[in-house]
Structure 1
Amino acid sequence: MKTEERSDSSRPADEPAAGAGRAGHRPDLVAAGVGALLVAVACGVGWVWQSADGRLQAQWPPLLASWHPHAGPGTPAALTVAAVVVVYGPALADRLPWRRLLLTAWATALAWIFSLALIEGWYRGVARRLTTKHEYLRVIDRFDDIPAALRGFTDHIVVGPPGNWPAHVAGHPPGATLTFVWLDRIGLGGGAWAGVFCIVLGASGVAAVLIAVRALAGERLARRAAPFLALAPFAVWTGTSADGYFAAVAAWSIALLAVAATRRSLLAACASGLLFGWTCYLSYGLPLIALPLATVLLITRTTRPVLPFLTAALTVPLAFTLTGFAWWEAYPLLVERYYQGAGGVRPYAYWVWGNLAAATLAVGLATAAGLRRTLTGTPSAALRALHPRRPAPTGEAALTLLVLSALLALLAADLSGMSKAETERIWQPFYFWLLPATALLPVRGRRGWLGAQAGVALLVNHLVWTGW
């Protein structure tokens, strides 16, 4: 079957994107400055609030971190990766054959994440992270009988009954914990294997986003976004946290649906559905990924993948429910557990905007500038393109819709009150889809913006202990 072509890769690689010079560089710098100001205000207000009564439950708000300037074994590698991407990344992204670009972007992201993690050293930066008292590996031995553990899972969510789960186990559906149980079963037990698994899978999300952007908005924009995705500041929290793994699973679900919608692939639609079903059992907040998934269908104006997608997606909740775990019964208990802990202490009045400051650090100032172009340049044109009598949106209009859907999902998570702090880590599944906004930045300034992205990650990782 012939592949439906949505790429505009026939344009020269060095040709500016439509609107690339929109209003010049100054508004982009202003947007980045506003992002930096938001972070500064959140730090200042947060420090005063935390010093007064400790209610923020974060030593260095808006991040869950503590002030501790340091360097480590990964410092030279991180500086080298950043320099190479800044100097050579844009040109390589323009010229490499597509499949080689995907592999290169994945490998670069992998090197970036590992080098940042190793600033803390192998033990503290990778091997120990998923073995602390709040983490999944603490309960592996309680899953010797998996069906029995699932049947009794909800009995241990709230604090009070004997044997309540550690915070991260209680705070997620059992799919998250089962991942590490299965790794242990196949001989990859322990914190080191768990950390490597999360880093390798987390880095693969870069390739997934590139595939989706190419399918929906064209190869030119995907290539422009590639260096920014590979050098994402939130890599600081991808290595090592399970949320990097969650983000990659969600990203591949969206990418495969984009492939299914543009290439009429039944296999891709089924795989996308399975991954979305699994995503919902990795984190209670990730059903919000349905917003970017629905946007894929809006952009491509097709319902062909819907039936196989839903059929495959429903097999996951069916399997869990038949085994004894009911998602809808567990979620209210999670809310109770959340307010028994830090969620009941942390003030919404700070975190509802402090979260956005943490998000700014996670996605970087270049993304803030790209979002400025997304929000001021093409939203109305993108929405008009959804009219059934108009051609399907492509290029910047399609990219705008995809980015806006992720931004909407992030804002919904923020307003819910169930994400107060730690969003630099928790919101990685949404951050992946904000970074493509950098493709709208002018070609001539890409190296400077990449340097700014790398600088944010390096400063954060060297100035504070992040805790993840």
Structure 2
Amino acid sequence: MTRWRRRLLPAALLATGAAVVWWSMVEGRAEQRTNTRVNLGAAPLVGRDEIDGWVWRFGWGLVGAGVLAAALAISCRLGWWWRARQRWVLLATGVGAALFAALLALTDGADGLRYGAEHPTEYWANLSTAPPAGEFVRTFVEQLDRYSVHVRGHPPGFVLVLKFLEAVGLHGVWPVVGLSLLATGATAVAVLLTVRAVAGDEWMRRAAPLLIVAPYAVWMVTSGDAVFAAVGALGVALVAEGANRDGTRAAWFGIAAGLLLGCLLFLTYLGAMLLVIPAVLLLAALVRRERGAWLVVMAGVAAGLAVVAAFWIAGFWWLDGVDATREQYHAGSAGFRRWSYFAIGNLGAALFALGPVTVLGMGTLRSRRMWLLVGGATVALTASHLSTYTKGEVERIWLIFYPWLALAGAALVSRRRRWSGAGAVAVQATCAIVLQAALVSKW
């Protein structure tokens, strides 16, 4: 009976996921016809054309992405991921994730890389009008109306990052694109380091190729949310590594993790939800009485509070920002986007980003330690969803959660079942390439 349940659960999850995607597409098209202000265009995803964002096209970037995906599938079949040294696995994953995402974006040429960064609604467009950094932070809440929609929906942190790039001579939109590329690779590496610390070397190797070709790569290098994902992932990795250390080293890991996760709160308000993952890891470490857990907790909390205090002294109180953004949200898209659709539509968009292998993995994964990561991310995403403050655009907004959920697919990859691993990589890559070929995304 147990064997049948193990076979039926993945199939049931996949069928349910397919039904959710189908419903969200059909109902989304109907919603767009009756309410043009909903601005989806490629329901449940957001298209660049707000009426019809599905436009099949060909670009040489798709060919490059296909070649890279084929090489990855062959490497899984030949067992390279299990023979290579850890450093090469990490390097290949980081470079591969950034390259695959960049090749997808290059389907539309250089514009595919630039568009999401230089669009008037994004962050970079505000640099010419935002006051100097100190005044910007101090007056951010009071002058929120003067900024673009994405700045109004986030804390002031990312604009400060872009101001820093300008200050050191990195002018224009290409440094922003480069930062997103770097963040895409760093996210994959940080997630793998966390897996190694929590579940061991074998699971790290199983997860690596899937983090390269996950369909959410379509939105990584074209969105500032890739940077948020990287900062969060690096913070979680430091928590996981620190819990395995003792003495001064654990404290330093905790301080570094606290600083990064504290900064994440001032990049995206969803950073508060992502804290579920390190909290779960630390709780499990405390239960197992791991040597560095308490030091990481104390040092991390102190460092995180120091970041919050620094912004408060500079004139920005995080809770005031949350309230101001909530007001902007209700005055804007929340007023004409029905929760009755997005309660399911958001999940449809998330399934597009995660791919079928992740869904199958959810029903197959048996490792309790891997479930600390996948389960923590599931709780975080669910909390964000049920808050009802994310109606649409979650293919981008939830990028900080997707890499952790994608780890579930590692259950289908193993040293002994090499064809299964190669097939999982091929399926995910095909989904990403077809999605890029069909969707002209806003990012």
State if a TM-score over 0.5 links the two structures. yes
1:209 is aligned to 191
Is 1:419 the counterpart of 2:403 in the alignment?
A: no
Is 1:183 the counterpart of 2:168 in the alignment?
A: no
Q: Does the 8 Å CA contact 1:156/1:170 hold for their aligned counterparts?
A: no
**Aligned residue-pair number:** 423
Deviations 1:74-97 (A, max 9, x none): 122111111111221462221110
1:296 is aligned to 281
Is 1:312 the counterpart of 2:303 in the alignment?
A: yes
TM-score, normalised via structure 2 length: 0.92
Q: Distance in 2 between matches of 1:149 and 1:190?
A: 20
Letter in 2 for 1:415: L
Q: Does the 8 Å CA contact 1:225/1:439 hold for their aligned counterparts?
A: yes
TM-score, normalised via structure 1 length: 0.87
Alignment RMSD (CA, Å): 1.7
Deviations 1:216-243 (A, max 9, x none): 1111111111111111110100021000
Is 1:365 the counterpart of 2:356 in the alignment?
A: yes
2:210 is aligned to 228
CA-CA distance at 1:42 after TM superposition:
0.8
CA-CA distance at 1:100 after TM superposition:
1.3
Deviations 1:220-275 (A, max 9, x none): 11111111111111010002100011001000000000000012322221111000
2:401 is aligned to 430
Secondary structure at the counterpart of residue 42 of structure 2: coil
Is 1:109 the counterpart of 2:109 in the alignment?
A: no
1:95 is aligned to 83
CA-CA distance at 1:297 after TM superposition:
0.7
Shifted more, 194-203 versus 275-284: the winner is: 194-203
CA-CA distance at 1:314 after TM superposition:
1.4
Q: Does the 8 Å CA contact 2:236/2:277 hold for their aligned counterparts?
A: yes
CA-CA distance at 1:402 after TM superposition:
1.8
1:16 is aligned to none
Letter in 2 for 1:368: V
Q: Distance in 1 between matches of 2:357 and 2:60?
A: 28
Secondary structure at the counterpart of residue 154 of structure 1: coil
- Please point out which of 408, 416, 437 is paired with 1:462: 437
1:53 is aligned to 35
- Please point out which of 263, 268, 272 is paired with 1:278: 263
- Please point out which of 33, 56, 60 is paired with 1:69: 56
Shifted more, 236-245 versus 442-451: the winner is: 442-451
Residues 149 and 167 of structure 1: is their aligned pair in 2 closer, same or farther, counting only changes over 3 Å? same
Among all aligned residue pairs of Structure 1 and Structure 2, give the percentage whose two residues are the same amino acid.
Answer: 32
Secondary structure at the counterpart of residue 244 of structure 2: helix
Deviations 1:18-50 (A, max 9, x none): x9x886666434433332222111101111221
Structure 1 runs of 4+ off > 6 angstroms?
none
Q: Does the 8 Å CA contact 2:97/2:185 hold for their aligned counterparts?
A: yes
Deviations 1:279-302 (A, max 9, x none): 000011211111101111122223
Is 1:261 the counterpart of 2:228 in the alignment?
A: no
Q: Does the 8 Å CA contact 1:143/1:181 hold for their aligned counterparts?
A: no
Residues 86 and 34 of structure 1: is their aligned pair in 2 closer, same or farther, counting only changes over 3 Å? farther
Secondary structure at the counterpart of residue 202 of structure 1: helix
Secondary structure at the counterpart of residue 128 of structure 2: helix
CA-CA distance at 1:53 after TM superposition:
2.5
Higher helix share: 2
Q: Does the 8 Å CA contact 1:103/1:207 hold for their aligned counterparts?
A: yes
CA-CA distance at 1:187 after TM superposition:
1.4
1:381 is aligned to none
Letter in 1 for 2:227: Y
Q: Does the 8 Å CA contact 1:216/1:299 hold for their aligned counterparts?
A: no
Q: Distance in 1 between matches of 2:197 and 2:413?
A: 22
Secondary structure at the counterpart of residue 41 of structure 2: coil
- Please point out which of 112, 123, 126 is paired with 1:136: 123
Q: Distance in 2 between matches of 1:24 and 1:446?
A: 19
Deviations 1:407-447 (A, max 9, x none): 01001100111111110111011111111111222533222
2:137 is aligned to 150
Q: Distance in 2 between matches of 1:82 and 1:343?
A: 39
Shifted more, 234-243 versus 139-148: the winner is: 139-148
- Please point out which of 308, 311, 334 is paired with 1:343: 334
Q: Distance in 2 between matches of 1:349 and 1:55?
A: 16
Q: Does the 8 Å CA contact 2:6/2:364 hold for their aligned counterparts?
A: no
Spell out the pairing of 1:16-55 with structure 2 (5 A cutoff): 27-54=9-36
CA-CA distance at 1:204 after TM superposition:
1.0
Q: Distance in 2 between matches of 1:36 and 1:52?
A: 25
Secondary structure at the counterpart of residue 435 of structure 2: helix
CA-CA distance at 1:128 after TM superposition:
3.2
Secondary structure at the counterpart of residue 44 of structure 2: coil
Q: Does the 8 Å CA contact 1:370/1:438 hold for their aligned counterparts?
A: yes
Letter in 2 for 1:281: F
1:13 is aligned to none
Residues 42 and 292 of structure 1: is their aligned pair in 2 closer, same or farther, counting only changes over 3 Å? same
Q: Distance in 1 between matches of 2:403 and 2:54?
A: 27
Q: Distance in 2 between matches of 1:103 and 1:256?
A: 18
Unaligned runs of 5+ in 2: 48-52, 287-292
Is 1:121 the counterpart of 2:109 in the alignment?
A: yes
- Please point out which of 78, 101, 109 is paired with 2:65: 78
Q: Distance in 2 between matches of 1:55 and 1:140?
A: 28
Q: Distance in 2 between matches of 1:267 and 1:22?
A: 48
1:199 is aligned to 181
